[in-house]
Chain A
Amino acid sequence: MLLLLVLVLTVSPFLWQLSTSLKSLQEDIYTRTPSFLPQQPTLANYAEVAETIPVWSYAANSLVVAAIVVAGNAVGATIAGFALAKLRFRGAKLLLGLFLATLVLPGEVTIVSQYVTVRSLGLADTLLGVALPGAIGMLNVLLMRTAFQAIPREMDEAAIIDGATAWQRLRHIGLPNVRGMLSVVTIFAFIGAWDDFLWPLIVLTDPANYTLTVGLQYLNGTFSANPRLIAAGTMISFLPIMIVFAVLQRFFFKGVEEGAIKG
């Protein structure tokens, strides 16, 4: 019973928004006895929101940013995590210490100078400027290192005796054993990039370049539009991420059980 109560509390706001987005202009959405189901469901609001703001190109912008961030983390954090966990080299300890130290610093503390850096690279008001700082997350490097460390030493030793190079060890021993963590890292990278608001809000100034979250606030703030349009906009942002998550949730919860988000 309690389960159902919590379910209603968590899910109904989304359903209410979905319902609002499907209600036609003729239907009174302000009535005190509102109906949960639209009387005549219509997709007109989705078409109209696209006329008010370029919502589809905002979605494409968000997708571009998310793709760069996912690819960067999948590659960059994986190879660095492997080197830190499995190869010995001078300075490894120091580097590891620095990676750990960055975790104490909330991202918002350095966001101003982050912006100064991105601007001096000539990337202010570009999607690349939005994606770049998060393209290799320090936490992800550490998570991947933890995953590689869990692989038994004997497997590496056997491979070394067989004359395997570092690269072959990464491909044939490392990667197959860190799939769980890699999926958690990439899912989180995607969700994080898709949902991010503060950083793109600072970097992007031209409304043509907005990502979906910034664009939605722009719609909300500038056009003080009718709630049906905002509802349609939020659904355009929410449904893709919900679908991605619903499809991948098995990997996610499995990775979490292996202890991925404890730190």
Chain B
Amino acid sequence: MSDKADNYEAALQGASQDVAHFEVQDKSLLMRFQSALHKTPSLVPLIVLVCAIMIFAGWLGPRFLPQMTLVFQQIQVVGILALAQTLVILTAGIDLSVGAIAVFCSVIMGKFTFDYGLPPAVAVCCGIVAGAAIGGVSGWLVTRIKIPPFIATLGVWQIVLAANYIYSRNETIRARTIREEAPLLQWLGLKPNEQFVTWIENLRGITYERIRPNDTGQFMLDIIWQTKITYGVLTLIALTVLLAYMLRSTAWGRHVYAVGDDPDAAELAGVNVKRTLMSVYMLAGAIAAVAGWSLIGRFASVSPSASTGLEGNIESITAVVIGGISLFGGRGSIWGAFFGALIVGVFMLGLGMAGVNPQWTFMLIGTLIILAVGIDQWIRKVAA
């Protein structure tokens, strides 16, 4: 070994002892904005949502804002589906079958109650277990047979939807039957605010001949009466909060992100990738089943031909994408999906109230999807 080759490191003695600094001092406003979006990916859909509400409130006047509670009711199914979809998309997968699972599970809940005479509570549990099992099949196909999630769930979607029609013989269970014999099935469609007002007024001995009028002179009670929040909406919010906690503050949540980010790296770093994926697909199936229960509440009946079986799948993906959750996995927050579903709901209702051709709604939503993915690509370029 020559001294020449040996001593190149001796030059380090005079070297600066500073370690690398990467703090950029003068960030432009745009860069700061980009970096804020990078840290809080659900900020974009929140901004879009607030803007959309403000625009519609300005356009349609005071009659729009009171309808916001109706928007919540309208997304009580697709919103829950979007939560399920978010989990799968965070792992860089996609679940085309969530809507079909929801409808099939709602049929299971209905059939188990009326055909097999199970208590409604047990039937609901059976439906949720069935949802988890179907999710488990998708998970098994993805993790063990290595079928790409798109194809696996495309197949499961068709199979579940067909099974749904065969099993139910395409018979609807009517709203009245359910209301009289198994009201629990419709529970997610009930309005706790109305129950509360009725309860208070019963205590006071006030009853109405038919439906309670909106204006009775009791200011607080009137406001509560008109809020129109259902248990389904509360379930959607509760599930969002629960999943946000699980994803942010538990090891499982960190593993979901790591698996979506780079499955090979996650495996080498000590994450059980297969088990994580399996749990995600099963949980997504179970949540889709809850959406099925919410579906009974929303439409009061059990209908195997509910449009959710076809459109719910795509609508949930739309909500997730507009919510800023990256289809490439590992990025995004569950709140994004919640806001995304709300954005779609606000557009649907707002443009509907404005009386424009409904095709404009789809055109706008299509534009939003493309914009959302474009923004996602821009955010991913961020450096700190």
Are A and B a genuine interacting pair, yes or no?
no
Q: Which residues of A contact B (CB under 8 A)?
A: none
